[in-house]
Amino acid sequence: MKTNFTIQGAPNSPVLVFSNSLGSEMGMWDELIPFLLPYFRVLRYNTRGHGGSEGVTPSHPLTKAATVIDGVAPSHPVNNPLGYTVDELGQDVIDLLDQLGIQKAFFCGLSMGGLIGQWLGIHHPQRIKKLVISNTGAKIGNDERWNERITTITTLGMAAIADETMERWFTEAFRKNNPERVTEMKTMFLRSQTDGYAGCCAAIRDADFRNELHRISVETLVITGNEDPVTNVEQAAFLAKNIPNARLKILPARHLSGTELPAAYAEVLIDFLTGENVYERGMHIRRSVLGDAHVDKSQTNINLFNTDFQQFITRYAWGEVWSRPGLNKHTRSLITLSMLIALNRKAELTMHLKAAFNNGVSVDEIKEVILQSALYCGLPAANEAMHTAEAVFKEMGIL
């Protein structure tokens, strides 16, 4: 199946996968990404039938008898030919990870994406480092509600529910103060493929993990909004209570809490996925840039004399500066190399030449940095840097 995706960030950073809500595309996470790139390689994708991802027709129909209430079944018909299952939506994630050669990743899914996350936690825990399920439930809605929505959009189109969807997605204050962003999200919703949307409605309708949550062994964070009318705090608390190693975080938002509160949401993710203090965050980044082998060696050499200095490096250099979203890791590596050449710090230059490849810097880019330094730092400094770089490349098997 063709899945529309984008992946951003330094190649040695751990992967964080985002899975979207029903009727949305990967752009719902746009504001979060700058906060997260210092820590992660971010993989976003569009669910099948959404945003350019292929709407593969499964082997079963969408049609399902609605739940009988007081002996009377709702009269609205359901006859759209496309009907997905959460098993298929979850397997799409595994297939995408396999396609990209990613063995294990952090995962954050919101609403429908949260159902997909639960499925992954139950069926593929070995592929998930930590799990975030946001604004979701173990069971969302009922057959009548989803059958009615399928009938509405297949009969009248997406515009029939667009305005009420924006009200469910965002608080009144957000809609008032961010009209351009709300318009963008409404436009995104309106371009949803009707068949794909209806097919995913069926997947949500039929998903029920209430009796399987105990099987999720992965450390889990449950996030919800205190005004979420779709999946409320009670449903989030049920998830946190019944998943063995789970905690709950409530934000002042409605359903799309990550879009409404990107900075706060990103902070919650970073706290959970990397650590709640500057040292833990710094160690996370330090390992992604310098590599585990280098950091482990440094840690084994810690003694009473240098322990304060090592902690200072991790907190200040990696936890406070390299974690800033203003420059990406690739750019920081190039700047660092330039300054180390100017200062003639051979040991540090050697270390950061190796680290540069973890941040996606190429041999040609390093060559250009050295040539540029010859103009502004002097030929002797550039000459020394050239010899150091050649030695590092030979050691790494590049030359």
Q: Would residue 286 count as lying in a domain?
A: no
Number of structural domains in the chain: 2
pLDDT digits (tens, 9 = 90+) for 101-142: 999 999 999 999 999 999 999 999 999 999 999 999 999 999
CATH number at residue 357: 1.20.1290.10
Q: Are residues 309 and 373 in the same domain?
A: yes
Q: Would residue 285 count as lying in a domain?
A: no
Q: Are residues 257 and 335 in the same domain?
A: no
pLDDT digits (tens, 9 = 90+) for 144-172: 999 999 999 999 999 999 999 999 999 99
The reported pLDDT for the residue numbered 279 is 97
pLDDT digits (tens, 9 = 90+) for 180-207: 999 999 999 999 999 999 999 999 999 9
Q: Are residues 63 and 161 in the same domain?
A: yes
Q: Would residue 284 count as lying in a domain?
A: no
pLDDT digits (tens, 9 = 90+) for 7-42: 999 999 999 999 999 999 999 999 999 999 999 999
341: containing domain: 292-395
CB neighbour list of residue 201: distance below 8 Å, 6 or more residues apart: 22, 146, 149, 150
Q: Are residues 213 and 78 in the same domain?
A: yes
The reported pLDDT for the residue numbered 1 is 79
Q: Are residues 169 and 94 in the same domain?
A: yes
From residue 231, give the alpha-carbon distance in Å to each of 219, 237, 246, 310.
21, 11, 17, 45
The reported pLDDT for the residue numbered 73 is 36
CATH number at residue 29: 3.40.50.1820
Give the largest Cα separation in the chain, rounded: 89
Between 65-74, 167-176, 359-368, the lowest mean confidence (pLDDT) is in 65-74
Q: Are residues 233 and 354 in the same domain?
A: no
Beta bridge partners of 131: 107, 220
| Structural domain ending residue among the three candidates 273, 303, 334 | 273
Q: Are residues 179 and 313 in the same domain?
A: no
The encoded tokens of residue 43 equal 């993989």
The mean pLDDT of the chain is: 93
Q: Are residues 265 and 341 in the same domain?
A: no
Q: Are residues 92 and 141 in the same domain?
A: yes
Percent helix, percent strand, percent coil in the chain, to nearest 5 = 55, 10, 35
The reported pLDDT for the residue numbered 147 is 95
The reported pLDDT for the residue numbered 370 is 98
What is the average per-residue pLDDT within 82-92? 92
pLDDT digits (tens, 9 = 90+) for 251-294: 999 999 999 999 999 999 999 999 999 999 999 999 999 999 99
Q: First CA to last CA across the chain, in angstroms?
A: 39
Q: Are residues 253 and 300 in the same domain?
A: no
Q: Would residue 81 count as lying in a domain?
A: yes
Q: Would residue 281 count as lying in a domain?
A: no
The reported pLDDT for the residue numbered 107 is 98
The reported pLDDT for the residue numbered 85 is 95
Q: Are residues 207 and 356 in the same domain?
A: no
d(CA 85, CA 89): 6
Q: With a cut of 80, say whether residue 60 has pLDDT above it.
A: no
User: Measuring CA to CA, which residue among 231, 318, 247, 273 is closest to residue 21?
Assistant: 231
What is the average per-residue pLDDT within 232-248? 98
Q: Are residues 302 and 253 in the same domain?
A: no
What is the average per-residue pLDDT within 320-348? 97
Q: Would residue 337 count as lying in a domain?
A: yes
d(CA 212, CA 210): 6
